[in-house]
Structure 1
Amino acid sequence: MSAKKILTVEQRRALLATPAGWLACGFGSGLTPVAQGTFGSLAALLPWLWLRELSLPWYGVVLVLGFVIGVWACNVAGRAIGVDDHRSIVWDEFIGQWIALIPALLAPWWIVVAGFALFRLFDVWKPWPIRWLDRHLKGGLGVMVDDVVAGIFAAIVLGVLMRLLA
């Protein structure tokens, strides 16, 4: 099965049968028939409203734990549906989006919108080294790492924009 196709009923059941599958599909946000990554990134904004209240060190702890758990969950989910990085697996978008929004932790709402847009841009465009990582790393680590790097790129650009506009 191509990573571009919609999940079959059996794959959906296999994915949703475990906590790892629920997490990997972003609590269902990755199960939309189109734009799964965008819906996953949008869904990531809901918990981010709580996360942004954390101190920066605790925010970092959540990111690291979310990444580690995400590697496991995406690995389990990929095996359950038979596709390593299926579009419905969007936990990587959650972590990448939260990384992209680090500069927006104390910023006005439009910075959050810009951070969202920048993360989606880097996640879809996949400039080097993101594209290389996406193609060469497999399993849960491969699912997660390219979005982490996209989030880092977006955070850097967002930080620079905020500095230029300050």
Structure 2
Amino acid sequence: MTNAHTVTPTFAQLLRSPVLLLAFGFGSGLAKKAPGTFGTLAAIPLWYGLQFLSPAAYMGVLVVAFALGCYLCGAASKALGVHDHGGIVWDEFVGYWLTMFLAPAGWLWALYGFVLFRIFDIAKPQPIGWADRRLHGGLGIMLDDILAGIYAALVLQGTAYLVYSL
């Protein structure tokens, strides 16, 4: 959570720091309101390219993006002096990409995945809420969004199963 004394970097500062640029989702995390939602929106065009990868390659990207995210989010938090600054949205990128792993093609599914991921990321049902409150550092920042992505993916895959099996 951010505190009242946290200074949000400018876009110019992001451009000077590759860590902050990626952690802030190429600037999408600078949104004044709902930076997590804007970060998730910014993840969609990148997902569009990912969906054409083989499942193994897509999973490889997820693993690398998660590991990179643990570093980026931890380093950005340290640089900003606050755990999980609201503008750090790399975790939303990876959580959305996880939601969309093996999802059916099409923009309706992309939108559905977006809505599901945002619901789970905001509502934080257990153990997401526990992870958000108890785990710190880059892993703590990343893990609650990974869990939200897993929940959202399960609902999305269940829906796809029902739609395509009826």
1:119 maps to which of 117, 120, 125: 117
Matched, 1:59 2:62: no
User: By how many angstroms is 1:39 displaced?
Assistant: 0.2
CA contact (8 A) 1:100 1:152 kept: yes
Question: Separation in 2 of the partners of 1:108 and 1:90?
Answer: 24
Task: Give ranges in structure 1 of 5+ residues lacking alignment.
Answer: none
Hey, what's the Cα distance between the residues in 2 that align with 1:100 and 1:36? 19
- Give the letter for the 2:65 counterpart: G
Aligned residues: 162
Q: CA deviation at 1:15?
A: 6.2
| Contact in 2 for aligned 1:31/1:88 (Cα 8 Å) | yes
Retained in 2: the 8 A contact 1:95–1:148?
yes
CA distance in 2, matches of 1:133, 1:145: 7
Consecutive unaligned residues of structure 2, counting only runs of 5 or more, are none
Aligned residue identity for 1:12: P
Q: Is the 8 A contact 1:15 1:80 kept in 2?
A: no
Deviation beyond 6 Å, 4+ runs, structure 1: none
Letter in 2 for 1:121: I
Instruction: Name the residue aligned to 1:42.
Output: 41
What corresponds to 1:150 in structure 2? 148
Partners of 2:4 and 2:61 in 1: how far apart? 32
Following superposition, the deviation at residue 108 of structure 1 comes to 2.7
Q: In 1, Cα distance between the equivalents of 2:28 and 2:3?
A: 16
Q: CA RMSD in A?
A: 1.8
Listed one character per residue, the Cα deviations across residues 23-66 of structure 1 (whole Å, up to 9, x for unaligned) are 11001000010010000000000111111111110000000000
Judged with a 3 Å threshold, the aligned counterparts in structure 2 of structure 1 residues 85 and 15 are, in CA distance, closer, same or farther, namely: farther
Correspondences of 1:13-162 after superposition (within 5 Å): 16=14, 17-104=16-103, 106-162=104-160
CA distance 1:92–1:73, change in 2 (3 Å): same
Counterpart of 2:46 in structure 1: which amino acid?
Answer: P
Alignment correspondent of 2:9: 12
Identity %: 48
Deviations, residues 102-123 of structure 1 (Å, cap 9, x unaligned): 142x423211111110000000
TM-score (norm 2): 0.92
